[in-house]
Structure 1
């Protein structure tokens, strides 16, 4: 029962979120899945690590697909997301925690900057 309520809440959060909030959720999700992948690698649970890496890759595909190409900086984002995606594929193939940490650090920077931008936009909007 509680699990269903949590799923409903999460679903409502996603359907009522602004595009900015959705991007933040994607960043947070990627960070969470990378942590889980690293834990799975440390526990020698290769299949779980693979599953979590695929989730991060899916998030990167979504981030790339939803970029607003009319905004010049989106090309820079696309290059970074593409780099992170290639690194995730490599990390998944090698089960390499160091590469996962590298990608995680990028996601943390993106997330923190994004949160800051959302606050600035709210205060000046």
Structure 2
């Protein structure tokens, strides 16, 4: 489902402070880390929004968008193109909703994106280990 772009994903984690784990993570774990990182940043952004901390809110939403766009860039459109196309559109929608949430101070937009990310992550987490190895090899 995900293809080129792992270097960009590692770069995202260099910036986030989770470099040590990102450098040794297998591709499957790296994607999990990106989902976790996006969700964490959205949660912090929502808290900052509720506290009126505009600069922190903007910073964390920007980083969440970077991660979502990294996930989008890593999609493998050659393997299961319909699924990749659907995820591509969903990630584009999430980016728009995060931008709208930031501009309109709308915590519901952040909640919506977090829910979507959790659903995709749950599917990703359910991939059996033998399938992960087959795709990596």
The normalised TM-score by structure 1 is 0.85
Instruction: Give 1:121 deviation, angstroms.
Output: 2.7
Deviations 1:66-120 (A, max 9, x none): 1111021111110110111111111111121000000000011111111111546
Q: Does 2:90 match 1:96?
A: no
Measure, in 1, the Cα distance between the counterparts of 2:53 and 2:31: 29
Equivalenced residues, count? 117
1:51-62 map, 5 Å: 51-62=59-70
Greater CA radius of gyration, 1 or 2? 1
Bigger shift: 64-73 or 48-57? 64-73
Question: RMSD between aligned alpha carbons?
Answer: 1.9
Measure, in 2, the Cα distance between the counterparts of 1:61 and 1:32: 16
Provide the residue aligned with 2:4 in structure 1: none
- Flag structure 2 segments of 5+ consecutive residues without an equivalent: 1-16
SS at match of 1:112: helix
- Flag structure 1 segments of 5+ consecutive residues without an equivalent: 1-6
1:1-125 map, 5 Å: 10-71=18-79, 72=81, 73-119=83-129, 121=131
CA, structure 1 residues 94+118, in 2 after alignment: closer, same or farther (shift >3 Å)?
Answer: farther
Bigger shift: 112-121 or 54-63? 112-121
Moved over 6 A (4+): none
SS at match of 2:127: helix
